[in-house]
Homo-oligomer: A and B are copies of this chain.
Amino acid sequence: MRRRAGIAQDELRRVNLAALLSRVHVRGATSRAVLTAELGLNRSTIGDLVGHLESLGLVTESSSAAGGRSGRPSLTVTPRCDVAVLAIALEVDRIIAAVVGLGGVELARGARPHQRGEHDVEHVIESVAQLAHQVLEAAEVATCLGAGVSVPGAVRAADGMVRFAPNLGWNNEPFAGRLSERLALPVAVGNDANLGALAEHLRGAAVGVDDVAYVTGSVGIGGGFLTAGAELHGFEGYAGEVGHLLVDSNGDECRCGAFGCWETKVGENHLLTGAGRLPGGGPEAVAEVIEAATAGDGKASASLDAVATWTGVGLRNIVNLFNPEMIVLGGVLARAWTARPGLVDAGMARGALIAPRESVTLRVAALGEDSPLLGAAELAFAPLVADPLLLERGVLPAAR
């Protein structure tokens, strides 16, 4: 029973244009017949809406010679991939930029390393701007609607302020506003795991699944959730910080200042040091430890076992709190689960309640390391997809 406004007659078109555009954006080229069935609108309304989106330069329509069962040619609605956004992923050791067209088509991509010492905001903004210029040149798109940026940290939803990004050393950086000025484009910023969850839901392992927990591990552990098909943001955008769930009352101090956080038990470096190796080696070093464990290295094996078991302990809490239909695992957690599924399941089973545990499915992230980048593209598309008429009102850059 949500408080909602009514829908006035002139808003009906907006709502239906949005429903249609979001459908073809997520599915790609779609026949009118499917759109009619899925949107629950009659054919003439669909025809009218498609015409409107075509006039806005957002879709094209073509008739396939094959024809439908009726013998009439089947009309297919295709999103125009030259209407694009810039997607940026700030990672700890590199920046990735991509141009992504409507329909989720990647048109160009570039990356550059940035090491510690290059993390100050000025430097990052300059690097992003250069990369952006480079990929936009390469993509030659008609329109760049804006940029979406994935940041490994807590981002205030209202204004894209990065409140806390320990791996970048950022505190309270008004990043969205400053990058927007530099790029002369609208910029939206989101937490990497929240964006990863969105991408996996729209285009990855959790398509069609409405209650999703996405949990991914590198140095830290990030989480993003969808509940009843909607992204979980919380009051100001900080929801989903699963890395700081308490899992071990006897555990070590975490970077956040608390003790016993999940990420102190299952982060990459915990796996590496447990196996007698140096921290900081990243995914490649993680892969080596898992290989060594599989080959019989006792120390690597013990460390992997511990990480798998603690992975299960953290998942127990997620299962009890969220009753997800699917948990999508990324990074070191995906690797630990793939290598030691029994230990993860056992750790989870020991604590999760029976009813929510029975129905949950675990999956490896289908988009791999790209989930946050692709989620950033969706973030940038969100205003247009929610209201295609923004183009008419000149709120978004018009197609050239």
Contact = CB atoms under 8 A, between A and B. Distances in A.
Contacts of A260: 249
Contacts of A9: 12
Interface stretch (A110-118, A222-230, A294-302, A389-397): A222-230
Interface in A334-361: 350-356, 359-360
A210 B237 CA distance: 13
Interface string A217-258: 000000100011110111111111110111111110000101
Interface string A352-374: 11111001100000000000000
A145 to B, nearest CB: 14
A400 interface: no
A143 interface: no
Contacts of A323: 233-241
B6 A20 contact: yes
A309 interface: no
A26 interface: yes
Interface stretch (A40-48, A66-74, A77-85): A40-48
Q: Interface extent on A, as a size class?
A: 35 or more
Interface in A143-195: 154, 156, 163-164
Interface string A31-74: 00000001111100100010000000000000000000000000
Nearest to A172: B355
A18 B26 CA distance: 29
Nearest to A228: B230
Contacts of A317: 245-246, 317
A35 to B, nearest CB: 9
A227 B238 contact: no
Given A8-B42, A246-B313, A236 B382 contact: no
Contacts of A23: 3
Given A211-B235, A236-B323, A316 B351 contact: no
Nearest to A254: B351
A8 B43 CA distance: 11
Contacts of A235: 210-211, 323-325, 356, 359-360
A15 interface: yes
Nearest to A360: B235
A210 B1 CA distance: 12
Contacts of A8: 40-42, 45
A230 B227 CA distance: 9
A22 to B, nearest CB: 6
Interface string A5-32: 1111100100110011011001000000
Interface of A: 1-9, 12, 15-16, 19-20, 22-23, 26, 38-42, 45, 49, 154, 156, 163-164, 198, 202, 210-211, 223, 227-230, 232-242, 244-251, 256, 258-260, 313, 316-317, 320-325, 350-356, 359-360, 378, 381-382, 385-386
8 contacts: A211-B234, A227-B233, A227-B239, A236-B355, A242-B320, A249-B250, A258-B316, A317-B317
Given A3-B23, A246-B317, 16 more contacts: A1-B22, A1-B198, A1-B202, A5-B19, A6-B15, A7-B12, A12-B12, A156-B355, A163-B354, A211-B234, A227-B227, A227-B230, A234-B356, A236-B355, A244-B353, A258-B351
